[in-house]
């Protein structure tokens, strides 16, 4: 499960990376960048299949359109690639509403004799990578419209399997446009996803302070000694 990430870049760096722009009113409203500790329920930039020229802020944790309560989003922060076409919460979205979600790192916790040790995992071939995602639009009982997303997860590559039994579905740069292609059936889009190449992944230990969502500063991404 991927439940904590980082995006320590500025909006201008993201705009250059994706050739897309932010809406100025959303930047003023949310202003979440840079973030060293991105957590579920927070607003985070994504690029959707129906607006590839803009980075927009969606809530992390999918809220299906039929949901009665916003709290369901806490249970749907991730969607397993093995079952995404079968689950009612995800099936419609993966067919019609796909997105890419930018990060520059994510965290996983390894179980040890001394408790859980967090690792930060980064890509070495690109400074900003993307995770394949799905998105939804939900209207609250108070008539508030909320856009939300879920990250697709898969089995880990060899580099990470000693840390955790899942990893996010990181896309190679050349796969990003394909994932957003509305003409590409979900079955075909999912077939191109595979664990990210070992040679493009680095993992290192970081402070346990990252476990507290209230902590959000550069010290969280610093490597600690064994």
> What is the CATH classification number for the domain harbouring 137?
3.90.1680.10
Q: What integer pLDDT is reported at residue 1 of this predicted model?
A: 59
Q: Is 81 domain-assigned?
A: yes
Task: Give the number of domains in the chain.
Answer: 1
- Sign of the dihedral defined by the CA atoms of residues 66, 68, 180, 174, in that order: negative
51 belongs to a structural domain: yes
CB 55 within 8 A of CB 128: no
Active site residues: 2, 108
In order of 9, 10, 134, 173, 174, the CA distances from 15 in angstroms are 10, 9, 21, 15, 17
Residue 53 lies in a domain: yes
* In-domain check, residue 188: yes
34 and 25 Cβ atoms separated by less than 8 Å: no
Q: What is the pLDDT of residue 225?
A: 82
In a domain, 179, yes or no: yes
Token output for 108: 């996983």
Give domain status of residue 140, yes or no.
yes
Cα–Cα distance for residue pair 117/208, rounded to 1 Å: 7
pLDDT given at position 155: 96
User: Domain span at residue 186?
Assistant: 5-105+127-200
Query: Is 52 among the domain residues?
Result: yes
Q: Is residue 195 part of a domain?
A: yes
For the chain (length 226 residues), average pLDDT per consecutive 10? 89 96 88 91 96 96 94 95 93 95 97 92 97 96 94 96 95 97 95 96 96 96 89
pTM confidence score: 0.95
């Amino acid at each position: 499960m991927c439940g904590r990430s980082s995006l320590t870049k500025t909006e201008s760096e993201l705009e250059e990376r994706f050739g897309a722009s932010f809406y100025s009113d959303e930047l003023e409203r949310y202003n979440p960048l840079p973030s060293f500790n991105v957590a579920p329920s927070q607003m985070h930039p994504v690029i959707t299949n129906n607006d590839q020229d803009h980075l927009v802020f969606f809530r992390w944790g999918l809220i299906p359109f039929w949901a009665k309560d916003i709290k369901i989003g806490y249970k749907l922060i991730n969607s397993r690639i093995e079952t995404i076409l079968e689950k009612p919460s995800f099936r419609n979205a993966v067919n019609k509403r796909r997105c890419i979600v930018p990060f520059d790192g994510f965290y996983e916790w390894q179980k040890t004799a001394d408790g859980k040790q967090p690792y930060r995992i980064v890509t070495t071939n690109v400074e900003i990578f993307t995770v394949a995602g799905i998105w939804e639009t939900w209207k609250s009982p108070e008539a508030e419209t909320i856009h939300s997303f879920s990250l697709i997860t898969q089995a880990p590559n060899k580099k990470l399997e000693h840390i955790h039994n899942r990893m996010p579905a990181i896309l190679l740069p050349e796969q990003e446009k394909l994932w957003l292609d509305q003409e590409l059936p979900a079955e075909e889009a999912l077939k191109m996803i595979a664990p990210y190449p070992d040679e493009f992944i680095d993992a290192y230990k970081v402070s346990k302070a990252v476990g507290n969502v209230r902590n959000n500063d550069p010290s969280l991404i610093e490597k600690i000694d064994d």
